[in-house]
Amino acid sequence: MISVIMPTYNERGNILKLIERTAKTLKKNFEIIVVDDSSPDGTGKLVKKLQKSRPYLRLIVRRERGLPEAIKMGIDEARGKKVAWLDCDLGMPPEKLPEMISLLDNNDIVVASTFLRGAKDARKVIHAEFFSTIINLLARIVLGGKITDYTSGFAAARKKALENTRFAGTHGTYFMGMIYDALKNGKKVTEIPYTLEPRHYGQSKIAGFWPYFKTGLIYLKELVKIRLIY
């Protein structure tokens, strides 16, 4: 079984379509775990209603907020031996999941990257692409060049391979630490290209030049921290 974790906060306008696309793609032997951080827009309530007609759907509601913690809770609660997670703004296509899952036969973690040949960032937000490129270039220098997208946030993995792997940090920095930790512990990590689409509904959790700039500084500090810890 494959367990797909969907961490949500105010994704009422996107979650139904994401669930439907994921279910249509995987078809059988899967579960979807929505981990909602008590969204004030009613995302959790909507998912709870959907559960009645979708037996593969599970809901976990947390009082706390935090993407890494939500993903880790979903992984811990997963029934499948293989897990995957992605953002819930419809930017990350669930149609890539079968390819990612199949690669787990010979790998511990599969990362979907926007920096491989054939990949694309279709959001057309210049400052987002700029900061993402710079941060990942620095990450490859500081953490090692084996991975092109240290800030992906779109991945599949063997659940057992994540048992002692670090999940800490902010919205994006957790992924850098998780991947670096996995590589340092001898886990086999590979990547596939994908196209990152614009957010379907609602506003990004990070919007505008200055929020991206401030987030970039947080990433830089986290890079140094990760390198020093490991």
Buried b vs exposed e over 15-46: b needs ≥16 C-beta within 10 Å?
A: beebbeebbeebeeebbbbbbbbebeeebbeb
Tell me the CA end-to-end span of the chain in Å, nearest whole number: 33
Buried b vs exposed e over 141-155: b needs ≥16 C-beta within 10 Å?
A: eebeeebbbbbbbbb
Residue type, 21: R
Question: For residue 205, what pLDDT is reported?
Answer: 47
pTM: 0.89
Question: For residue 125, what pLDDT is reported?
Answer: 58
* Residues whose CB falls within 8 Å of the CB of residue 135, separated by 6 or more in sequence, listed in order: 150, 151, 216, 219, 220, 223
Taking the C-alpha atoms of residue 124 and residue 127, their distance in angstroms, rounded to an integer, is 9
Contact in structure between 88 and 14 (CB atoms under 8 Å): yes
Q: What is the DSSP letter of 197?
A: P
Domains and CATH numbers, the chain: 2-229 (3.90.550.10)
> Each residue's pLDDT tens digit in the chain (230 positions)?
999 999 999 999 999 999 999 999 999 999 999 999 999 999 999 999 999 999 999 999 999 999 999 999 999 999 999 999 999 999 999 999 999 999 999 999 999 999 999 998 886 656 566 777 888 888 888 888 789 999 999 999 999 999 988 888 777 789 999 999 999 999 999 999 999 998 665 555 444 455 666 666 677 777 777 777 66
